[in-house]
Amino acid sequence: MDAETLKAAPALPDWAQGLFTGELTPLVDDAGQPTPVWAIARDASEARISDQFKANAGQYHARYAASAHFEGLFRQAIAGARIKVAEAPLILDLGSGSGVNSVVPCFSLFPGARQAATDLSGDLLAILADYAAHEGLADRVVCVVMDQPR
């Protein structure tokens, strides 16, 4: 990514600096413009991901969206475990997808939360980044494409 494109990239929120061991760089769209979805610079996971996880992200998002259901499950689990959650927790979500079943319910349950959302699919994370921007939460969600290390 050239310096001019990098300059146009969205800023990584201060709270997200240093969460990952590698440098985060924004992914670029088909037009070569930076997106609000990040990748760990040294991680080549995008190249290892099968098309199954990259194709039809919008359909996948719509098919599996059940925010209210998962919010209820989270409430039950927290109550059952008698967990006291901080007012503004920092949440790491592994396998976020579009965030509809994890990030979205967590913002309902924990309005002050900051969330690092990770997934194999940059396309699903782009859906989450768009949602966060639309809801005024872009400064509280960092979307990072990543896979398990080899």
Q: What is the CATH number of the domain that holds 57?
A: 3.40.50
Please check whether residue 81 lies inside any domain of the structure: yes
Please check whether residue 29 lies inside any domain of the structure: yes
pTM: 0.80
Please check whether residue 9 lies inside any domain of the structure: yes
Please check whether residue 63 lies inside any domain of the structure: yes
Of 116, 67, 115, nearest to 88 (Cα)? 115
pLDDT tens-digit series, residues 71-94: 999 999 999 999 999 989 999 999
Name the domain count of the chain: 1
- The whole domain housing 53 covers 3-145
pLDDT tens-digit series, residues 38-80: 988 765 555 555 566 566 777 777 777 778 899 999 999 999 9
Of 120, 126, 118, 114, nearest to 144 (Cα)? 118
Please check whether residue 150 lies inside any domain of the structure: no
Please check whether residue 106 lies inside any domain of the structure: yes
